[in-house]
Copies of this chain bind each other. A is one copy, B any other.
Amino acid sequence: MRRLSTADPGFEAAFSELLDAPREDAARVDAAVAEIISVVRAGGDRALLDLTARFDGHAPETAEALRVQPAEIDAAVAGVAPDLLASLDLAAARIERFHAAQMPRDLALPDPAGLTLGMRWTALDAVGLYVPGGKAAYPSSVLMNAIPARVAGVRRVAMCVPTPGGVLNPLVLAAARRAGVDEVWRVGGAQAIAALAWGTESIAPVDRIVGPGNAYVAEAKRQVFGRVGIDSIAGPSEVVVLADAANDPRHVALDLLAQAEHDEAAQAILITDAPAFADAAASAVEDSLRGLARRAIAGESWRRHGAVVVVRDWDEAAALTDRLAPEHLQVMVADPAALFARVRHAGAAFLGRWCPEALGDYTAGPNHVLPTGRTARFASGLSVFDMLKRTTWVEASEAGLAAIGPAAVALAEAEGLGAHAASVSARLR
């Protein structure tokens, strides 16, 4: 854990180092992924069966067996504790409500020149959802990825999830059902991305692929980008907590550790204006670590990437936060909305002392799929906007064409595009 203070002469160098320190080795898997995609394009279902046997250690015999059957989902849901299903329902209902409120309106703009200009939003036809398997198979992520598609009106939501050894998490299936996923395929890795992008005999191709994954999945998404849409490439997670001395240091410590426990590459940063509170929080982190089941992971993350930064004032804190552009931002000061208004770059913000980021991971309502690794400078969390596209339109009358046509002709001629010019001038009297 780094301890920094903006009052120290070496601060800028140390903070820059914190900003630029790589947290993950970028595995070079380009060639392996290109090979897998090419094998799936050529071999279809047969290739999926072979690759699944090879990578996931279970060997379905037919393509039909790659699909999780409705009866299997029924059985899985029946085995989930009712209070857990109720929690899933509460989360799903709140996520639905928030994403429904995001839905944008169409635009129709009458124009003084006699035209009407517009913009229309329509849903994608089909979306593929990648869900990681093994330790990172999170039912909450199924809700967060599938519900925006359903709310936006996507007709078909297909989910791929690797099942190492053939085992599936029942709560993941319950979440898929609750979120309205249409198809669940036990296929993972780059082969799942290839199947969703290009289609096989069994799996129809989709128009966009969302959801996190390992280095192979990320590279596969990069390689199929253009054929289909993708969401941003997920990197290691991070939180910045802005907290004053009026907070309980134990709460802040748990908030930092909730980020750190995700994986060793996660990053948790506390920024405070109170040196004594910085000490108390750092000490509370050590105390809380001892009681955590995931203390090995969280401890490693905190030691390698954690930081406590003491600032002279909250303007400094806002400026540092913008340089970090964190995925998650907690604002725990007397007037959190005012401080949040001074920050430009963050994926999601949690305002006040009663709003730990973990609420947002599960039940608050906004999406927890968020831009990581400083990409909140330009990227946004998953939303209905990822499941929609826009068509702009123009309607022109003869008078409208007469008003703006001659300028179009002049510009087309200047660009040397004679048919463009002629298509307008032929209609002008």
In-complex Cβ contact of A358 among B113, B294, B362, B408 (8 A): B408
Determine the distance from Cα of A98 to Cα of B378 in the docked complex, in whole angstroms: 23
Determine the distance from Cα of A250 to Cα of B425 in the docked complex, in whole angstroms: 12
Contact between A423 and B257 (Cβ–Cβ < 8 Å)? yes
**Which residue on chain B has the smallest CB distance to residue A252?**
B423
Determine the distance from Cα of A343 to Cα of B24 in the docked complex, in whole angstroms: 45
In-complex Cβ contact of A362 among B222, B288, B398, B411 (8 A): B411
Query: Which residues of the partner chain B approach A90 to less than 8 Å between Cβ atoms?
Result: 404, 407
Contact between B102 and A415 (Cβ–Cβ < 8 Å)? no
Contact between A363 and B407 (Cβ–Cβ < 8 Å)? yes
Q: A145 in the interface, Cβ–Cβ < 8 Å? A: no
Q: A42 in the interface, Cβ–Cβ < 8 Å? A: no
Query: Which residues of the partner chain B approach A405 to less than 8 Å between Cβ atoms?
Result: 359, 363
Q: How far is the CB of A287 from chain B (nearest CB, A)?
A: 12
Contact between B389 and A379 (Cβ–Cβ < 8 Å)? yes
Determine the distance from Cα of A105 to Cα of B407 in the docked complex, in whole angstroms: 33
Q: A50 in the interface, Cβ–Cβ < 8 Å? A: no
Contact between A294 and B419 (Cβ–Cβ < 8 Å)? yes
Copies of the polypeptide in the assembly: 2
Q: A167 in the interface, Cβ–Cβ < 8 Å? A: no
Binds B, one of A11-19, A225-233, A307-315: A225-233
Determine the distance from Cα of A362 to Cα of B356 in the docked complex, in whole angstroms: 50
Determine the distance from Cα of A415 to Cα of B131 in the docked complex, in whole angstroms: 14
Query: Which residues of the partner chain B approach A381 to less than 8 Å between Cβ atoms?
Result: 390, 392
Chain A 20-38 interface 0/1 with B at a Cβ cutoff of 8 Å (1 = within): 0000000000000000000
Determine the distance from Cα of A64 to Cα of B412 in the docked complex, in whole angstroms: 33
In-complex Cβ contact of A392 among B109, B366, B427 (8 A): B366
Q: A338 in the interface, Cβ–Cβ < 8 Å? A: no
User: Which 3 pairs between the two chains have the least Cβ-Cβ distance?
Assistant: A366-B392, A87-B407, A229-B378
> Can you show 14 pairs from A to B with CB atoms below 8 A apart?
A84-B414, A86-B407, A171-B414, A207-B378, A226-B235, A345-B391, A352-B397, A355-B396, A355-B400, A356-B423, A360-B394, A366-B393, A367-B392, A377-B389
